[in-house]
Amino acid sequence: MQQVGGAAALVLGVSQTLYLLVMTALGARLLALARRTRRLPEALLGAHFVLCCALGYSLLGAGLVAGLQPGLLPRAAMVILIGVGQAATASGVFAGVLFNYWVFRRGELWAAALVALAAAALGASYLGYGLSGGFAHGRVGGFWFWLGYGSYAAAGIWVLLEPLRFRVALRRRAALGLVEPLVADRFLLYGVGSAFRLAMLAVGAVAMCLAEEASQQIVPYVAPIFLVVAMAGLGVAASYGLAFFPPRRYARFVERRYRRSPS
């Protein structure tokens, strides 16, 4: 973090704070809705936002950054940060996978198998990384670490593709007046936000590959990496925020856009 200049640090701090606030607010609202409606999709998506995008993201990120600087934190603190952070992240990722299955692919055998595979990979990577001492040192690399990170990326790709595919069908229905335009737009925004999150994962993978080689190699790239992550985080916050908390002005803009559409 010492290599991040003042302006870059300010942009990073503001964007990450906004990202965490939006994810926490979205998750809390969806969990409150699920409590009232007793419906599974709201509960799964709320858990995904709170566990993976807010709690796990902040705890695990702090632990892995501390792992690049041995001795920065006591062993017990590292175990708590990484162990709890990784458990929250893995649980949140699985909630997102299960949401995808339940909403978009329920009853399809291949999708059910994908959910089971995700559960096995996430559980195995968590246990393997912890038992090999990963929670205590937080070092990047090794089979168990990349199994978990690869599972996050694979889940992110599926979470990106399904709402965009579904949005195509909803757009056609909206053109016929069968679906509210804001509903079709919500799936587009959810897909766009998921694309930004996948970009954050991709940039993070590049950064951790550099760190795995040698911590000195990452120094010239620290500021650009953090700035790209910051911009992607702002994209996630904006897309998800508009999808679930659309201001009236934005809702009217969507209505006008669909009315002007040639379809």
pLDDT of residue 177: 66
CA gap 91, 77 in Å, rounded = 21
172 found inside a domain: yes
123 found inside a domain: yes
3-class secondary-structure state, position 176: coil
pLDDT of residue 207: 76
Query: What's the burial of 134, exposed, middle or buried (CB within 10 Å: 0-12/13-18/19+)?
Result: buried
- Answer whether 24's CB lies under 8 Å from 243's CB: no
Contacting residues for 142 by C-beta, under 8 A, at least 6 apart: 129, 132, 134
- Answer whether 62's CB lies under 8 Å from 101's CB: no
- Answer whether 118's CB lies under 8 Å from 94's CB: yes
27 found inside a domain: yes
- 23: CATH: 1.20.1070
| Residue 44 belongs to domain spanning | 6-260
Long-range contacts of 201-209 (CB under 8 A, 24+ apart): 201/149, 201/152, 201/153, 201/156, 202/153, 203/228, 203/229, 203/232, 204/229, 205/149, 205/153, 208/64, 208/140, 208/141, 208/149
pLDDT of residue 1: 47
Q: Which mean pLDDT values do the consecutive 10-residue runs of the chain (263 residues) have? A: 57 79 91 93 94 91 78 84 94 96 94 96 96 87 92 94 87 71 87 92 81 58 72 86 88 78 53
1 found inside a domain: no
- Answer whether 59's CB lies under 8 Å from 81's CB: yes
CA gap 203, 193 in Å, rounded = 16
159 found inside a domain: yes
Predicted structure pTM score: 0.85
Q: At what angle do helices 143-175 and 75-104 cross, to 10 degrees?
A: 30
115 found inside a domain: yes
Query: What's the burial of 92, exposed, middle or buried (CB within 10 Å: 0-12/13-18/19+)?
Result: buried
- Answer whether 145's CB lies under 8 Å from 129's CB: yes
* CB-CB neighbours of 116 under 10 Å: 10
* CB-CB neighbours of 131 under 10 Å: 10
pLDDT of residue 214: 57
Q: 119 is written with which tokens? A: 């559960």
**177 DSSP 8-state letter:** T
113 found inside a domain: yes
Q: Give me the number of domains the chain comprises.
A: 1
The Cα angle at residue 115 between residues 114 and 120, in degrees rounded to 5: 95
Q: Name the residue type at position 63.
A: G
154 found inside a domain: yes
CA gap 91, 51 in Å, rounded = 7
